[in-house]
């Protein structure tokens, strides 16, 4: 069997990574990196919804053992948590990072050093958490890290609120996509994320992700090397629209999609301001979401 070579290593070798870095930076002049389309000049320090101009903040980096088993393996998933977010859910459990800006300014060479440290620690992948708004700097960091021997699968771990144009820049760079599909209906997305277009954006984004890397692929050692894994957070009162989300995945993406039905919703940040969000989910709600997914024939993370 041929040894695994990450997409970004191939892209650096054939010169396409340098082209992608230049194109990504161009998008910052009137920022259209994400669906918010703020059109501020981030190269001059202007900020839009994501509160990020020219300086990338990293909240933390470490081996993480709370991810899906095929990402964690024996030595953990090498996570980098980027500060701020382009979606900004009002119930975010990591609101200190996504809303309040907890993190340290880090240059691309610093991000590269973090990636290489995670590889030395034995992590099975580099897991970019909330990367959408800082893609140009990540691409620069990958260029630096790959030149110094980074060779782990790259995970793009996002809310699903990603523009297809930007995702096309990541084609041939990312190995694994790990998107959320949060809401099927626009009304809860509008109320809780100020993003009424979230459902349509997520559909297009996840389709693009799947077209690039396909279904999940796992190595002989049991760790993921490529593909899409979908996360779906069960919400109180079925605010997420689980059945319709899963039918869409089955009918328009792949009946072989691997799905993680997540049970950890609890009222955080501003959630208690909304009656529908002011309690955790019930056992019945979670079991029903699992049953729906299983009945659709999709593969559940266990």
pLDDT exceeds 70 at position 69: yes
Q: Smallest Cα–Cα separation from 35: which of 182, 204, 208? A: 204
Contact 19, 144 (CB under 8 A): no
Compute the radius of gyration of the chain from its Cα atoms: 18
pLDDT exceeds 80 at position 1: no
Task: Please state whether the predicted TM-score (pTM) of the whole model is above 0.95.
Answer: yes
**227 — alpha (psi -120 to 50), left (phi > 0) or beta?**
left
> Residue 2 falls within a domain, yes or no?
no
Q: What percent of the chain shows pLDDT beyond 90?
A: 99
Contact 296, 247 (CB under 8 A): yes
Distance CA 198, CA 189 (A): 6
Distance CA 152, CA 122 (A): 10
What's the domain count of the chain? Answer: 1
pLDDT exceeds 90 at position 2: no
Distance CA 282, CA 294 (A): 19
CATH number at residue 167: 3.20.20.70
Tokens 């190995």 appear where? 175
Distance CA 173, CA 139 (A): 9
Q: What percent of the chain shows pLDDT beyond 70?
A: 100
Q: Indicate the SS3 state at residue 183.
A: coil
User: What average pLDDT score do residues 114-129 get?
Assistant: 98
Contact 132, 170 (CB under 8 A): no
Q: What residue numbers bound the domain in which 146 lies? A: 7-300
Quick one: pLDDT at residue 19?
98
Quick one: pLDDT at residue 9?
98
What average pLDDT does the chain have? Answer: 97
> Residue 214 falls within a domain, yes or no?
yes
| H-state helical runs in the chain | 7-14, 16-27, 69-72, 95-98, 108-120, 135-147, 164-170, 186-193, 198-213, 242-248, 283-295
282 CB neighbour count, 10 Å cutoff: 12
- At 33, which helix (H) or strand (E)? none
User: What average pLDDT score do residues 234-259 get?
Assistant: 97
Beta bridge partners of 259: 230, 300
> Residue 199 falls within a domain, yes or no?
yes
Contact 299, 257 (CB under 8 A): yes
User: How far is C-alpha 53 from the geometric centre of its chain's CA atoms?
Assistant: 20
**212 — alpha (psi -120 to 50), left (phi > 0) or beta?**
alpha
> Residue 156 falls within a domain, yes or no?
yes
pLDDT exceeds 80 at position 302: no
> Residue 1 falls within a domain, yes or no?
no
> Residue 50 falls within a domain, yes or no?
yes
């Amino acid at each position: 069997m041929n040894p695994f070579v990450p997409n970004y290593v191939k892209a650096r070798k054939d010169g396409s990574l340098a082209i992608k870095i230049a194109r990504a930076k161009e998008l910052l002049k009137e920022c259209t990196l994400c669906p918010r389309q703020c059109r501020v000049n981030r190269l001059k320090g202007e900020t839009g919804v994501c509160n990020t101009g020219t300086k990338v903040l990293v909240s933390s980096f470490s081996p993480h053992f709370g991810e899906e088993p095929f990402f964690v393996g024996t030595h953990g998933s090498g996570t980098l948590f980027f500060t701020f977010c382009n979606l900004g859910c009002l119930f975010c459990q990591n609101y200190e990072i996504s809303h309040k800006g907890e993190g340290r300014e880090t240059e691309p060479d610093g991000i590269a050093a973090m990636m290489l440290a995670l590889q030395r620690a034995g992590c099975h992948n580099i897991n970019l958490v909330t990367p959408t708004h800082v893609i140009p700097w990540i691409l620069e960091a990958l260029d630096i890290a790959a030149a110094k021997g980074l060779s782990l699968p790259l995970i793009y771990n996002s809310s699903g609120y990603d523009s297809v144009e930007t995702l096309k820049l990541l084609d041939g760079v990312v190995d694994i996509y790990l998107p959320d599909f949060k809401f099927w209906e626009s009304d809860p997305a509008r109320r809780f994320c100020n993003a009424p277009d979230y459902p349509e954006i997520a559909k297009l984004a996840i389709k693009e992700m799947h077209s690039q890397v396909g279904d999940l692929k796992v190595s002989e050692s049991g760790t993921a090397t490529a593909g899409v894994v979908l996360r779906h957070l069960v919400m109180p009162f079925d605010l997420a629209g689980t059945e319709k989300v899963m039918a869409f995945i089955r009918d328009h993406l792949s009946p072989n999609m691997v799905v993680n039905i997540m049970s950890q919703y609890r009222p955080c940040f501003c959630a208690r301001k909304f009656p529908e969000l002011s309690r955790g989910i019930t056992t019945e709600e979670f079991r029903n979401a699992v049953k729906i997914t299983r009945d659709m024939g999709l593969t559940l993370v266990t």
